């Protein structure tokens, strides 16, 4: 659906403090502290449909398994969800957790969301929520059963109006350039941290510096000419000085963890520019890729917790493959969780990215300009959220399945289209567990073209 047909709406409701009715949830003991908070935000709407995001915060004792209840009062219904299943999907809705987000620790939160249908005349936000039967109104229950604070509810509704671009779900005036996304999970990604830096100017010196698991900060200076793949060990930060280039070869992050690769120009590689396999906690940021043989950034073989941000790919065909084979489900299911944000796919052809098995894979605030074959493909039961991107002169923006690979799931929201159609969607996608700020899609082209690629940051 083209952006010009959408309507702008922002509905936010926050429910705070909580009391528990006796006997509602038999699994909770009389002494257990219970309480919850729910934030509901409807970010955009169009004729017949809308999108909403839900954040559940557990204020009481840890829970394992949740049911979130609310009432639609104007005939709305959940049509596509991520992070839960809804049964029933209309009226008095009951949303049940997905397998990966069943546990919510004390003061922990989980995110979920859905696409819904509405009658185009009224779309009121739910006025209250229950979590496992507990009314979410904001603090834990006191020892005598009374709420420790008085219930408070706030709701704001912005006027609904026509918009030529999908509205933002809330973003900063300047895009985020620090570490965001999946690489913040699993303990986070710090690379070599505060270790002293070593400057290298040759392939042999770079190979030596990247070996082993000791923490190291490695600065690349000038052009390093090489062939094949150079192995990267754990706990490494690899930074390019101004103009630093790796020509003819690539970096192989294999069976490693906690790796950062930033501010490098890759050109003419004879295999992959960056290959990530059997590795976790990897951040690939502000690099440029052009004129290579195979993948610019390929991530495969059970790799996990990876962020690919602010990179530019141009004069290249096969760009970013996630999951290398249809028959590798045994290793890949439950892994391959990657965030792609603020990347510039500059006249590229395919795999921007192509995804197998990973769920959720988050593709947000990227700029697709004059892309040839296709933008995003979700295959082999993957779950991909395509959010807040700018598609220009791209005939096939996103779709399900690719080649002989079966379809995955894909949810799209808040994207901006110029001479490009909305793509194919279907299924549900797991919720995003980390916080992020979504930039307005219509402004993504300007911010990404001015900020993506090597040489755009100080290191």
Closest C-alpha among 357, 370, 426, 439 to residue 170: 439
Class of domain 182-451: mainly beta
The domain defined by 3-22+33-142+153-162 folds into Immunoglobulin-like (2.60.40)
54 close to 38: Cβ distance less than 8 angstroms? yes
Annotation says 351 is catalytic: yes
Q: How far apart are CA 440 and CA 389, in angstroms?
A: 9
Domain layout of the chain by residue ranges: 3-22+33-142+153-162, 182-451
- Beta carbons within 10 angstroms of residue 96's beta carbon: 13
Question: What is the enclosing helix (H) or strand (E) of 121?
Answer: none
Per residue in 253-266, pLDDT tens? 999 999 999 999 99
What is the rounded (10 degree) CA torsion for 188, 194, 198, 201? 40
What's the rounded mean pLDDT across residues 327-343?
Answer: 98
- What is the reported pLDDT for 279? 98
Q: How far apart are CA 136 and CA 104, in angstroms?
A: 15
pLDDT band at 137 (very low <50, low <70, confident <90, very high): confident
Residue 119 CB coordination number (10 Å): 10
Nearest to 112 by CA among 409, 339, 385: 385
Neighbours of 9 (CB within 10 A): 21
User: What is the pTM for the complete model shown?
Assistant: 0.67
- pLDDT at residue 229 in the model: 98
Task: Tell the burial category of 187 from Cβ atoms under 10 Å away from its Cβ (0-12, 13-18, 19+).
Answer: exposed
Distance from C-alpha of 345 to C-alpha of 305, rounded to nearest angstrom: 22
- Mean of per-residue pLDDT scores for the chain: 85
Predicted confidence at residue 60, as pLDDT, reads 87
| CA proximity to 112, closest of 168, 56, 169, 72 | 56
| Annotated active-site residue in 351, 354, 356, 413 | 351
pLDDT at 399 over 50: yes
What is the distance between the alpha carbons of residues 321 and 404, in angstroms, rounded to a whole number? 15
pLDDT at 44: 55
Q: How far apart are CA 456 and CA 402, in angstroms?
A: 34
Check pLDDT > 60 for residue 343: yes
Closest CA to 433 of 23, 98, 206, 205: 98
């Amino acid at each position: 659906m083209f952006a010009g047909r959408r309507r702008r709406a922002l509905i936010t409701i926050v429910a705070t403090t909580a009391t528990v009715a006796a006997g509602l949830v038999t699994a909770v003991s009389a002494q257990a502290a219970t309480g919850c908070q729910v934030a509901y935000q409807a970010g955009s709407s169009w004729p017949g449909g809308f999108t909403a995001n839900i954040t559940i915060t557990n204020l009481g004792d840890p829970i394992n398994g949740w049911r979130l209840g609310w009432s639609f009062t104007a005939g709305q219904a959940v049509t596509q969800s991520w992070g839960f299943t809804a049964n029933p999907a209309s009226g008095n809705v009951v949303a049940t957790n997905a397998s990966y987000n069943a546990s919510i620790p004390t003061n922990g939160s989980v995110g979920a969301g859905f696409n819904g249908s509405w009658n185009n005349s009224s779309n009121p936000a739910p006025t209250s929520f229950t979590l496992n039967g507990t009314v979410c109104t904001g603090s834990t229950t006191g020892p005598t059963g009374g709420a420790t604070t008085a219930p408070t509810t706030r709701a704001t509704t912005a006027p609904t109006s026509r918009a030529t671009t999908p509205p933002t779900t809330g973003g900063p005036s300047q895009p985020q350039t620090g570490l965001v996304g999946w690489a913040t999970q699993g303990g986070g990604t710090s690379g070599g941290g505060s270790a002293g830096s070593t400057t290298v100017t040759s392939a042999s010196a770079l190979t030596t510096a990247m070996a082993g698991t000791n923490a190291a900060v490695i600065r690349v200076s000038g052009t390093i000419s090489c062939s094949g793949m150079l192995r990267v060990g754990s706990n490494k930060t690899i930074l390019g000085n101004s103009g630093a280039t790796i020509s003819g070869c690539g970096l192989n992050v294999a069976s490693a963890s906690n790796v950062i690769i930033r501010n490098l120009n890759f050109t003419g590689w004879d295999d992959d520019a960056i290959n990530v396999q059997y590795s976790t906690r990897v951040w690939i940021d502000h690099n440029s890729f052009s004129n290579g043989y195979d993948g610019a950034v390929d991530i495969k073989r059970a790799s996990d917790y990876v962020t690919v941000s602010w990179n530019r790919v141009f004069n290249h065909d096969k760009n970013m493959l996630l999951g290398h084979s249809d028959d590798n489900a045994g290793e890949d299911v439950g892994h391959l969780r990657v965030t792609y944000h603020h990347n510039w796919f500059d006249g590229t052809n395919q795999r921007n990215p192509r995804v197998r098995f990973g769920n959720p894979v988050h593709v947000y605030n990227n700029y697709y300009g004059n892309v040839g074959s296709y933008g995003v493909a979700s295959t082999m039961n993957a779950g991909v959220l395509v959010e807040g991107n700018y598609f220009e002169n791209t005939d096939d923006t996103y779709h399900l399945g690719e080649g002989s690979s079966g379809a995955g799931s894909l949810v799209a929201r808040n994207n901006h289209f110029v001479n490009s159609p909305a793509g194919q969607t279907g299924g549900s996608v797991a919720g995003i567990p980390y916080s992020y700020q979504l930039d307005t899609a219509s402004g993504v082209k300007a911010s990404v073209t001015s900020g993506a690629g090597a040489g755009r940051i100080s290191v």
